[in-house]
Amino acid sequence: MKRIAGRSFAEFSASVAALHLTSPGLHGTVPHVGLSGGFPMRNTVLSSTKTGLCAAFGLLVGLLASGQTAQAANPLELNFWLSGPKYDGAVAPCEAALPTIASQFQEKESQYWNSPLVITAYSRIHETTFRPWQSDNVPRRYCSGDVVLSDGKVRTVHFSIIEDGGFASIGQGVEWCVTGLDRNWAYNPACKSARP
């Protein structure tokens, strides 16, 4: 007879055997008794699953047998107060975003990159496109131009002005990228994602 920890296998009761699940002499976790005896939890799980499936099937049969057809929503169910976005398309011209870009650029360079760079001048600012997608999308005006930085280098800036794109969708928002200084690669490669 097999002996575990100085005792025979028959001396272990079902509750004690459960405590010795990792004992080297046992092959498996607990002795298999079958579905009908010894393990009340297994029987409970199986019977509750069967009961749930029967109830769901009965509900489905009841709904199909009722014979009611689907009806259109009544006026109170139409959500008539949620009519969807209504954009005016009133987006500021390209020059209106330049002070915002200058202040945000200086803040980003000093706080995140420990750089003294600032934008000192702009040139060749022009609109690239306006509302390049479907008319119900958020209106955007895409612009490009050159910026002169405090280190004397001239770089290209790409930016967009977005209707209702400000904080909490209040006011117009500006997204911008200076080519060669997109250090966190947010608009990579070469500010391509900041263009239409």
Please state, as a whole number, how many other Cβ atoms lie within 10 Å of the Cβ of residue 12: 18
Q: Is the peptide bond before 31 cis (omega within 30 degrees of 0)?
A: no
Half-sphere exposure of 31 (CA within 13 A, CB side): 12
> Tens place of pLDDT for every residue, the chain, 196 residues?
555 556 555 555 555 555 555 555 555 555 555 555 555 555 555 566 777 777 887 777 776 666 666 677 776 666 666 666 678 888 999 999 999 999 999 999 999 999 999 999 999 999 999 988 877 788 999 999 999 999 999 999 999 999 988 888 888 999 999 999 999 899 989 999 999 8
pLDDT at position 71 is 72
Which residue is it, tokens 């010795």? 20
Provide the whole-model pTM: 0.57
Q: Collect all residues with Cβ–Cβ distance below 8 Å to 120 and sequence separation of at least 6.
A: 148, 149, 150
Q: Give the whole-angstrom CA distance, residue 143 versus residue 30.
A: 72
Q: Give the whole-angstrom CA distance, residue 100 versus residue 36.
A: 75
Cβ-based burial of 100 (10 A; exposed 0-12, middle 13-18, buried ≥19): middle
pLDDT at position 115 is 94
Using alpha carbons, select from 100, 95, 92, 101 the residue that is nearest to residue 191: 101
Domain boundaries, the chain: 3-50, 94-194
Q: Give the whole-angstrom CA distance, residue 176 versus residue 164.
A: 16
